[in-house]
């Protein structure tokens, strides 16, 4: 298992994959800690998560540097990611007890209520693009609910995975409440099916979700899946153009374009398409690319060379099918897996830029002339993660909020995750929810109690 710096292609470190004996020992140790941790109580768990938030904030530069080195995240964004991890720790430390308080229900017995008990050990299979945040948005609610956790992280961010495990130890958590497994995707199916794993959560691609879900189904285990997205951003003729352009440019370039909820397909009304295109092209042109550790560089390299090449292939095929290349679209003469801000227009169904997820700094402009056409094209996707609309028309807002097929609709700003709001998708973007009170209820036994 190799960690390679995407900025220069240099090997950072090789990690030895855990043997079957090491996997067995880890699962056994975490499983044996379930009862101890579940009896810790909300007050004890909350104190530990408050300390964890403190450690994260204190060491944020160190962890940002680690992400920049392993997957190319610009330092400014890395620092923000760690601060967000601290926020989600504080959020569940403050609110988990209320979210999981027993709920009394009136029935024809003396006492009936619902309680929420931990399930056991939860396996998290996580990707490389937000190496800390995607782990903590799972870990904070899951552990505050009294479960233990095992992490299988993407192999190219093994350093981040081990750093997260060490973070829990540094914050004072009992041994084996949270552990990392350094294993390949080939082995994880058997871990999913292990009887000591109570449930599974996965963030990643649709094929990865299908594989994990299939393994879990063999053992009738619950799975929460957050998969890919091809988020439609719809800009109507009455939109505040500056606001729309700023939101779309910002969203598309976050994490060097490598975000499931980034703006990806830009549906623009024909009346404003020309002005929108000029303004967005200017923003893309002024997006600086380079070494993620250098202040001022807004996007770094793509996390892996094969992913960069796949992105370029999607751009080329879209152009071959009739899309117009306005900017970028050429692999730069640089070491590392860099890809420039790229803008396509005249994009239509049947092109990769319309049909597929473009996981990098590539924007696709799609023209529409009516509300019905915009809605039909926006929903014409296998994905349904996030969406955004830009308009001042309240009746239109009500309609599109109701009819857009997505896990979220943001009005006049870009899609982002927030510990206070449920997060997840529909269709091939997955099922289940993370964050807020919905997220903490995913991995508990919702137990009915009825007393006569």
Same domain, residue pair 99 and 61: yes
Same domain, residue pair 288 and 412: yes
Q: Can you give the pTM of this predicted structure?
A: 0.97
pLDDT digits (tens, 9 = 90+) for 428-441: 999 999 999 999 99
Would you tell me how many other CB atoms lie within 10 Å of the CB of residue 275?
Answer: 12
Residue with tokens 């292609």: 9
**What are the two backbone dihedrals, phi and then psi, of residue 65, each rounded to the nearest 5 degrees?**
-65, -40
Q: Which residue range forms the structural domain that includes residue 36? A: 2-227+429-451
**What are the two backbone dihedrals, phi and then psi, of residue 425, each rounded to the nearest 5 degrees?**
-135, -175
Count: domains in the chain: 2
Same domain, residue pair 186 and 146: yes
pLDDT digits (tens, 9 = 90+) for 334-372: 999 999 999 999 999 999 999 999 999 999 999 999 999
Same domain, residue pair 240 and 215: no
pLDDT at 186: 87
pLDDT digits (tens, 9 = 90+) for 141-162: 999 999 999 999 999 999 999 9
pLDDT at 159: 98
Percent of the chain with pLDDT over 70: 100
pLDDT at 78: 98
pLDDT at 388: 98
CATH number at residue 254: 3.40.309.10
pLDDT digits (tens, 9 = 90+) for 312-322: 999 999 999 99
pLDDT digits (tens, 9 = 90+) for 49-90: 999 999 999 999 999 999 999 999 999 999 999 999 999 999
Distance CA 427, CA 383 (A): 6
Choose among 290, 288, 303: nearest CA to 337. Answer: 303
pLDDT digits (tens, 9 = 90+) for 1-33: 999 999 999 999 999 999 999 999 999 999 999
Choose among 123, 163, 209, 135: nearest CA to 3. Answer: 163
Residues labelled catalytic? 226, 260
Same domain, residue pair 88 and 108: yes
CATH number at residue 206: 3.40.605.10
Residue with tokens 């499983």: 31
**What are the two backbone dihedrals, phi and then psi, of residue 112, each rounded to the nearest 5 degrees?**
-135, 135
Choose among 156, 91, 89, 145: nearest CA to 119. Answer: 145
Q: What is the mean pLDDT of residues 256-261?
A: 98
pLDDT digits (tens, 9 = 90+) for 228-246: 999 999 999 999 999 999 9
């Amino acid at each position: 298992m190799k960690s390679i710096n995407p900025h220069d292609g240099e090997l950072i470190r090789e990690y030895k994959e855990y043997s079957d004996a090491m996997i067995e020992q880890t699962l056994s140790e975490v499983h044996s800690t379930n009862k101890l941790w579940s009896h810790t109580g909300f007050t004890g768990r909350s104190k530990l998560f408050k300390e964890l938030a403190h450690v994260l904030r204190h060491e944020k530069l160190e962890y940002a540097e680690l992400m920049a080195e392993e997957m190319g995240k610009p330092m400014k964004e890395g620092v923000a990611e760690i601060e967000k991890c601290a926020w989600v720790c504080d959020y569940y430390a403050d609110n988990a007890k209320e979210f999981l308080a027993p709920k009394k229900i009136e029935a024809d017995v003396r006492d009936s209520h619902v309680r929420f008990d931990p399930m056991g050990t939860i396996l998290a299979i996580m990707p490389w693009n937000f190496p800390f945040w995607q782990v903590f948005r799972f870990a904070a609610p899951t552990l505050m609910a009294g479960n233990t956790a095992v992490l299988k992280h993407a192999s190219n961010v093994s350093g981040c995975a081990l750093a997260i495990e060490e973070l829990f130890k540094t914050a004072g958590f009992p041994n084996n409440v949270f552990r990392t497994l350094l294993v390949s995707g080939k082995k994880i199916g058997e871990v999913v099916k292990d009887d000591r794993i109570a449930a599974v959560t996965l963030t990643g691609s649709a094929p990865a979700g299908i594989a994990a879900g299939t393994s879990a189904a063999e053992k009738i285990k619950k799975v929460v899946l957050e998969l890919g997205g091809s988020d439609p951003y719809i800009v109507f003729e009455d939109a505040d153009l500056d606001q729309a352009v700023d939101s779309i440019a910002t969203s598309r370039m976050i994490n060097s374009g490598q975000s499931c909820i980034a703006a990806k397909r830009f549906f623009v009304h024909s009346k404003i398409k020309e002005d929108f295109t000029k303004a967005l092209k200017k923003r893309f042109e002024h997006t600086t690319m380079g070494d993620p550790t250098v202040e001022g560089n807004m996007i770094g390299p793509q996390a892996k060379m094969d992913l960069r090449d796949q992105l370029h292939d999607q751009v080329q095929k879209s152009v071959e099918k009739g899309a117009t290349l306005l900017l970028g679209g050429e692999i730069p003469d640089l070491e590392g897996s860099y890809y420039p801000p790229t803008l396509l227009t005249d994009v239509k169904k049947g092109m990769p830029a319309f049909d597929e997820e473009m996981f990098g700094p590539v924007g696709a402009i799609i023209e529409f002339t009516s509300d019905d056409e915009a809605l039909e094209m926006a929903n014409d996707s296998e994905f349904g993660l996030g969406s955004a609309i830009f308009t001042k028309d309240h009746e239109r807002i009500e309609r599109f909020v109701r009819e857009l097929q997505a896990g979220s609709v943001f009005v006049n700003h870009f899609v982002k995750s927030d510990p206070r709001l449920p997060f997840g998708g529909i269709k091939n973007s997955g099922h289940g929810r993370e964050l807020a009170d919905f997220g903490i209820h995913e991995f508990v036994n919702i137990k009915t109690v009825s007393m006569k």
